Amino acid sequence: MTQFTLLFASILGGLAVIFGAFGAHALKKILSDDQLKSFETGVKYQMYHAIVLLIIGFNFKLETASEKYMVYCFVAGILLFSFSIYGLVISSAKNKKLTFLGPITPLGGLLLIIGWCLLGYAVYNIHF
């Protein structure tokens, strides 16, 4: 489970850098300011949570069910939250907005929140 966590952290962190550069250079020409801000929000949340996954991977044994669910929630949350934003922004810029992605973004956000709650639960169980 630790290898899974660190692998996803490194992949998602690397992709965040790539997407950030892509947004800052290639997409800057075709996106409105609001669209670019939304895209950047997806990149920021992806990077923040990739870093959290790194910290988790290096500091937890990831043996309990709640610790495993914590990792799954963060990974799924990143994919649903950030990637739905990328899809919405890029499809909107091409005038082919993928509206079905709209409800996916808050679901990803909810999974990120659950991941944070499970992280708090894990820390509480270790230290108290």
Residues 93-119: tens digit of each pLDDT:
888 989 899 999 999 999 999 999 999
In angstroms, the CA 104 to CA 56 distance is 25
Print the domain residue range for 42. 2-127
Q: What would the two tokens of residue 23 be?
A: 């947004």
Q: Which residues of 93-126 are buried (b: 16+ CB within 10 A; e: fewer)?
A: beeeeeeebeebbeebeebbebbbebbeebeeee
Query: What is the total count of domains within the chain?
Result: 1
| pLDDT over 70, % of the chain | 100
Give the pLDDT band (50/70/90) at residue 121: very high
In angstroms, the CA 80 to CA 113 distance is 13
Give the pLDDT band (50/70/90) at residue 128: confident
Q: Which pTM does this prediction carry? A: 0.93
